[in-house]
């Protein structure tokens, strides 16, 4: 599965506050545009709440709790799943690792592997073009 990991440097919230932290996470990981940020924050809050209780959550549960159509939930879930934070098995949604910290560390490893691949190809391109490396 293709992962799309976008990152944005955003000033961290000054105080510990779940709502502010979720908003920051959405913005730092480019999970939604400003007009849809409110729903994405609500979705994340509900996902984490349900997953912390049962280990997974169904789309229908999310739609009921958020009072939105399942199609709308699925639309936003696609973004979260393609980011690598969550994954789907059937109708159930799971956090990629047992907690968010471990999930972020796994994303870090994904990014590092991708950058290693990019660096390797860049070196081959440099050699093909005869570009010198700085010494």
Residues 91, 101, single domain; the answer is no
Task: Tell the residue number behind the tokens 């709308």, with chain if given.
Answer: 72
Residue 1 has a pLDDT of 63
Where do we find the tokens 């229908």? 60
Is there a contact between 21 and 68 (Cβ–Cβ < 8 Å)? no
The predicted structure's pLDDT at residue 135: 72
What pLDDT shows up at residue 43?
97
- Counting the structural domains of the chain, the total is 2
* Conformational region of residue 28, where left means phi above 0, alpha means psi within -120 to 50, and beta covers everything else: alpha
Indicate if 113 and 60 belong to the same structural domain.
no
Same domain, 71 and 129: no
Q: What is the pLDDT along the chain (135 residues), one digit of tens a residue?
A: 677 888 999 999 999 999 999 999 999 999 988 788 899 999 999 999 999 999 999 999 999 999 999 999 999 999 999 999 999 999 999 999 999 999 999 999 999 999 999 999 999 999 999 998 777
Q: What is the pLDDT of residue 55?
A: 96
Enter the pTM of the model: 0.85
Domain that holds residue 111: 97-135
The domain spanning residue 83 has which CATH number? 1.10.10.10
């Amino acid at each position: 599965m293709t992962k799309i990991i976008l990152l944005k440097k955003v000033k961290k919230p000054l105080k510990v506050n779940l709502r502010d932290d979720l908003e920051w996470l959405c913005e730092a990981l480019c999970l939604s545009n400003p007009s849809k940020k409110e729903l994405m924050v609500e979705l994340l809050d509900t996902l984490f709440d349900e997953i912390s209780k049962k280990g997974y959550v169904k789309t229908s549960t999310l739609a009921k709790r958020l009072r939105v159509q399942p199609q709308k939930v699925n639309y936003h879930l696609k973004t979260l799943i393609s980011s690598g934070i969550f994954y789907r098995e059937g109708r159930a949604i799971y956090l990629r690792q047992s907690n968010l910290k471990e999930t972020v560390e796994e994303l870090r490893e994904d990014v590092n592997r991708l950058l290693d691949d990019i660096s390797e190809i860049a070196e081959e391109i440099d050699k093909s073009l005869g570009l010198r490396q700085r010494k």
